[in-house]
Amino acid sequence: MTAFGAIAIACAVGFVAHVNDARASSSVDRPGVDEEGKADTLSNSDRAFLREAAIGGLFEVQLGQAVAQKATRDDVRKFAVHMVSDHSKGNKALADLAQRKGYTELPTKLDEEHAKQMDEILKLGGAELDAKYVSTMVQDHEDDVDAFSHAKDAADDADVRDFAGKALPMLQEHLKSIRAIRQKMQSK
């Protein structure tokens, strides 16, 4: 064997060892792979949609829980309770979808922006809290309906499109309800 051949074999052995070390490393440390080694095949845009949907769902549940305790208007309180119920179910469906797809980076807590927004609302009391919550929910649900409508038609993954399509009627109903509450509040 020539010196060149020995070097080539040594390089090949080193490469195989490197590949095996990489495969043996924890799949949790590798982005896009779940704990069982299942590859995440979602596109970046589908991941972004799921990430935003998760944060939005967490926001509506956590804020709804607090507003249900602090609201002065009965219709606002009932809407907040409805948000907790519906968005808890939606969050569960979203988590199940992410797990099936091997997407392990789904947020489980609010981002800084939503945490700050929630704090600002909850610092208020009485009619101010009710009004700020209602205006926030109108804007939030307008944004949700737009995002879920887009994902229903344009998500790359069929299951993500299906999830968005199934959630969309609920979000549209929420938007209709909160707009009606806002209208009642403005007419007084």
Give the pLDDT score at 26.
31
Closest CA to 141 of 174, 103, 184: 174
Between CA 90 and CA 57 the distance in angstroms is: 7
pLDDT class of 178 with cuts at 50, 70, 90: very high
CA distances from 158 to 39, 42, 55, 87 (A): 17, 10, 22, 22
Angstrom distance (rounded) from CA 162 to CA 178: 25
pLDDT at 37: 55
Residues 165-184, mean pLDDT to the nearest whole number: 98
- Please give the share of the chain, as a percent, with pLDDT higher than 90: 78
Give the Cα separation of 115 and 168 in Å (integer): 24
User: Which listed CATH number (3.40.50.9100, 3.40.630.10, 1.20.1260.10, 3.40.190.10) goes with 43-186?
Assistant: 1.20.1260.10
Tokens of 78: 């009932």
**pLDDT (tens digit, 9 = 90+) per residue, 21-63?**
433 333 333 345 545 555 688 999 999 999 999 999 999 999 9
Enumerate helices (H) and strands (E) in the chain, giving the number of each: 6, 0
Q: Is residue 6 scored above 80 in pLDDT? A: no
CA atoms in the 13 A half-sphere facing the CB of 82: 14
Identify the pLDDT of residue 32: 52
| pLDDT surpassing 90 at residue 129 | yes
Read off φ and ψ for residue 42, nearest 5 degrees.
Answer: -70, 145
Measured in degrees and rounded to the nearest 5, phi and psi for residue 33 equal -130, 130
Range name among 2-16, 39-53, 62-76, 113-127 with the lowest pLDDT average? 2-16
Residue, of 2 and 56, whose pLDDT is higher: 56
**Residue 172 carries which DSSP code?**
H
Q: What is the pTM assigned to this prediction?
A: 0.79
Which pLDDT band holds residue 184 (cuts at 50, 70, 90)? very high
Please tell me the predicted confidence (pLDDT) of residue 143: 98
Which of the pair, 122 or 32, is modelled with greater confidence?
Answer: 122
Range list of H helices, the chain: 3-24, 44-70, 74-100, 112-122, 126-154, 158-186
The predicted model gives 10-27 an average pLDDT of 39
